[in-house]
Chains A and B, each alone.
Chain A
Amino acid sequence: MDLILTQTLNGLVYGVLLFLLASGLSLIFGLMGVVNLAHGSFFMLGAFCGLSVIKLTGSFWWALLLAPIAVAMVAIVIEVFFLRPTYARGKLDQVLLTFGFSFILTDLTESIWGREMFGLDEPDLLDRSVEIFGSIFPLYRLALLGFGIFIAIVLWLFIEKTRAGAMVRAGVDDAHTAMGIGLNVPLLLTATFASGAALAALAGVVAGPLLNVFSGMDVEVLIPAFIVIVIGGMGSLKGSLVGSLVIGMADTFGKAYMPELSMFLIYLAMIVILLVRPHGLFGHQSASM
């Protein structure tokens, strides 16, 4: 019983990490049609920036604030100078381009921080355990769960209730018409790409105390994040949330109870969804691939 509860919490926490990654990835695809293969690199860069900020300031909270900003700036450079000139050429050029950047960012990371494994320390405030219903839970993981819910609500409010969010939705539905009615689509694209990168970096910082921080952690999350948006649907926030939780739980329980088969089954699910519902479970028909 205890084990199942712990696994559930771990699954949900992994789901939260995936959500932070997938929501950005999904919006970037929905709005710009860009399959961003450098998204895992933003996650990794976020974790490493967090590492340095913690070393400098001694505070996890500063890392949480500064690392996403730093990574967003990198993303802005990539979007404005490299992606933007290729939009007219079709979607595949951007796949190749971001694939190239994933190599560059990995090399950059190794040059700055080396190839060792690091870990981030949990903030002191959260570095303890709490007892709920007679079971012991690490507080940091519980807090992360709450943080994930908070971010999901903020994102939802932003997308559904603000003017900027309405522009994003308009862009996802039909970028041409959105441009036709006078939205500044290039700015919207840059902002979305940067925000997605910032969310990925945020995921990297909060994952720091849970996962190993090393050059190569980007690949480990990139493919699960893609599975999430394929299952949930490109361009759909709700899809990212549901997909993340499903994959987070499936992966955690799968690894615990059938370690040989879990990876296989998850890819199988991805294939089935791609074939049966190419726009995912919650995706908009127009935002399908």
Chain B
Amino acid sequence: MRDLVFAAINAALVKGARYADARIVDSREQKVSVSDGRVEAIESGESFGIGVRVIADGSWGFASSAAVTTEAAEQLGRQAVAIARASALVAGAPVNLADVGTFDTRWDGPCEVDPFAVSLEEKIALLLEADEAMRAEDAVKLTKSHLGFFRAHKCFGSSEGSYIEQTYTESGGGITAVAVAGGEVLTRSYPNSHGGNWLQGGYEVIRSFDLAGQAPRVAEEAAALLSAAPCPPGVTDLIIDGSQLGLQVHESIGHPTELDRVLGDEAAFAGTSFLGVRDLGQLRYGSEHVTVTADATVAGSIGSFGFDDEGVPAQRDHLITDGALTGFLTSRESARAISRTSNGCMRADGWNRIPLIRMTTVSLEPGEWSLDDLIADTDDGLYVETNSSWSIDDKRLNFQFACEIGWEIKDGERTRMVKNPNYTGITPKFWNSCDAVCSRDHWQVWGLPNCGKGEPMQVAHVAHGASPARFRGIRVGVGR
């Protein structure tokens, strides 16, 4: 692979590129899903190809192909230079990259039990067992359970001399029970919605979820939601569980702190950010209880790696420190805009995509509360779990989230269940209303395997550590 990578790079340099890198990615995946007692899908796939990225005439060019031969790699290098020269027809300031060391190494992620070696029969049996347990609840009319596995082997080289190979394995899954009656559709999921939970690792990850053991509770809660009261509209103190708070961090801290978004590169698609470079070290993003890190070294997180797709080593960096904005997620190009070096957030979702600034494991650091104490400390509030819907504006300010389930809190007690709870807010005001974060005992890394960004759309595997936290004076029951 090394020879192919450098064949592409050298061809680009011969054609006049000032910088070139190339990535060969060989990936495979497997998905198994069951719905209503029926095996709905057994699917495997593989993808193999090479992408070449160059700077020529001060502009970027990228070309990719599934043909991975010396001749094809050289052709791609030349094609990428031609594309860069077309970019230069509408050029801005010449592209420059922050410095990075050169590395000749490899990195392997954790994997105890190779998930691709575990039989399909065992996976199907697990899903059918969970599915059957959910269908035992009469009100549940639709069930879904699924497992997924992904492995990638990447070979990266650059004209600066780095050559890095990395291999990692990801495993994930989840179950969903849908209760249907009287024109209402109410859903409960475990361990998370929208694809379950995902971690780096092998089949041991799936076994740790205990999907079948959790299935009866999931179905029971879905059924109970049918007779639950609607979430009443109003302004209240809101306690958000770790999984939903992970998505809250994702949408209202992770994306706004992507420096390419701050600089306007994503403006026409997913939008920009309310943040400016000038806000670094100046903006009070949240209360003193809010400290947020971007950490690509969290063991077992799908936001972890040895090196990003620009060859920058994995790092742990602070985005928000005691409420103050102290960092951005950066690339080599964007880091120069804030006179820093890259904190290693550039990843592509395959050989056929350029790397973009992506979240790693972006986490709300734990506080000191227990969840029981936090609820007991709340006179009148709402506790919500598990995302069902999300939306945020093009500057990442006005957001609205809906959750699968909620419970009212009265006089320090969790009381009546409510269905379809939602809440809305403005990002900095919301994070400044945070007055308590639960402890590391409640803190968990939530893998998000479906973060969309960029054009052509790329789907990144990112993660968020979070424990439950409380926010004062939040508007809930919007549009209800």
User: Do chains A and B interact in one complex?
Assistant: no
Residues on B facing A (Cβ under 8 Å):
none
Residues on A facing B (Cβ under 8 Å):
none
